[in-house]
């Protein structure tokens, strides 16, 4: 065989051997990432569930090593730009995964990365295994950040005796997903550029207008038509905290919000109830207000 023919063959064999070795290494630790849906409203919790599957046949200890962080994400914008983390220097406790076992983590990416532009993002989870001295990454998964349709907005002051008054902008947004329309509330301090919360409140029938009232402390009370003859009441504070939530249904009268003496807001009419198994199963497909993932340090 001539030398000019031998060289390409050697290079090809080397590439095949390297590829097979890399594939065998990748098969020893499998990393997967998932999201509940593809479309998200700007600033709402973007919760990634990462699963690490140890197929190496031996115990796997995941821990930081010198300049290597054992757990992280790579996020790329639609134009190819890498989105750097807000805080790249964090320390995460080591984790052990036994042979054949899986480890899952749910992480809210919203406070970790500046995902403040509309558009498509490709997200990969990456795990560094010191025993292999290499990184293992999940296949990239695409999510899209959009903005809902504003349907109500108010600017209010924060009660208190501080010298400089604080303001909150409260916005209700509707956002159409693939199978339903959802109602969102965003609470922010636009002057300081701080977002306190963007909550998904649940299903919203667009032919009905949600009721919104502010009490004596400017806390927010929302009553939305969540299903035919069913309503959802939510009470929120000005720091974005959810202070209460209750389902109602029509029972002789339609529930409405009413302001009592002293500025207290109550629900009048209807009948409070706990959604049954059918409603609970439907809600399990949506993000819960109380669903908070295990945070990374620095959140």
In degrees and rounded to multiples of 5, residue 20 shows phi and psi of -65, -40
- Three-state SS sequence of 66-123: CCECCEEEEEEECCCCECCCCCCCCCCCCEEECCCCEEEEEEECCCCCCCCCCEEEEE
Domains of the chain, earliest start first: 28-145 (2.60.40.2970), 148-282 (no CATH)
How far is residue 46's CA from residue 76's CA, in Å, rounded to a whole number?
Answer: 15
Ranges 8-17, 48-57, 163-172: which has the least confidence: 8-17
Give the burial string for 162-195 (b: 16+ CB within 10 Å, else e). Answer: eeeeeebbbbbbbbeeeebebbbbbbbeeeeeeb
% of the chain at pLDDT higher than 70: 82
The stretch 180-190 carries a mean pLDDT of: 94
Model pTM score: 0.74
| 35-63 confidence digits (pLDDT tens) | 999 999 999 999 999 999 999 889 999 98
The stretch 175-202 carries a mean pLDDT of 92
User: What values do phi and psi take at 288, rounded to 5?
Assistant: -90, 150
Structure confidence at residue 84 as a pLDDT band (50, 70, 90): very high
What average pLDDT score do residues 188-192 get? 93
Query: What DSSP element (H or E) covers 14?
Result: helix 3-28
């Amino acid at each position: 065989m001539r030398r000019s023919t031998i060289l390409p063959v050697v290079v090809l064999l080397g590439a095949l051997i390297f590829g097979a070795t890399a594939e065998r290494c990748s098969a020893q630790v499998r990393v997967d990432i998932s999201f509940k849906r593809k479309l998200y409203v700007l600033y709402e919790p973007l919760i990634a569930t990462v699963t690490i599957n140890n197929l190496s046949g031996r115990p796997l200890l995941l821990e930081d090593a010198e300049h290597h962080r054992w757990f992280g994400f790579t996020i790329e914008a639609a134009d190819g730009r890498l989105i750097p983390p807000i805080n790249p220097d964090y320390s995460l406790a080591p984790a052990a995964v036994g042979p054949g076992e899986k480890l899952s983590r749910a992480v809210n990416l919203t406070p970790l990365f500046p995902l403040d532009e509309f558009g498509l993002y490709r997200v990969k989870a990456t795990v560094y295994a010191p025993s292999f001295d290499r990184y293992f990454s999940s296949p990239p998964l695409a999510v899209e950040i959009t903005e809902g349709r504003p349907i109500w907005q108010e600017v209010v002051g924060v009660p208190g005796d501080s010298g400089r008054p604080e303001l909150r902008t409260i916005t209700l947004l509707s956002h159409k997903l693939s199978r339903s329309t959802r109602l969102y509330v965003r609470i922010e301090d636009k002057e300081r550029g701080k977002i306190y919360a963007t909550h998904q409140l649940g299903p919203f029938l667009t032919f009905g207008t949600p009721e919104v009232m502010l009490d004596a402390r400017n806390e927010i009370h929302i009553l939305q038509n969540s299903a035919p003859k069913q309503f959802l009441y939510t009470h929120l504070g000005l720091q974005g905290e959810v202070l209460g939530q209750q389902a109602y249904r029509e029972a002789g009268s339609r529930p409405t919000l009413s302001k009592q003496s002293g500025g207290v807001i109550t629900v009048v009419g209807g009948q409070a109830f706990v959604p049954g198994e059918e409603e609970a199963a439907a809600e399990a497909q949506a993000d819960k207000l109380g669903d908070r993932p295990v945070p990374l340090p620095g959140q």
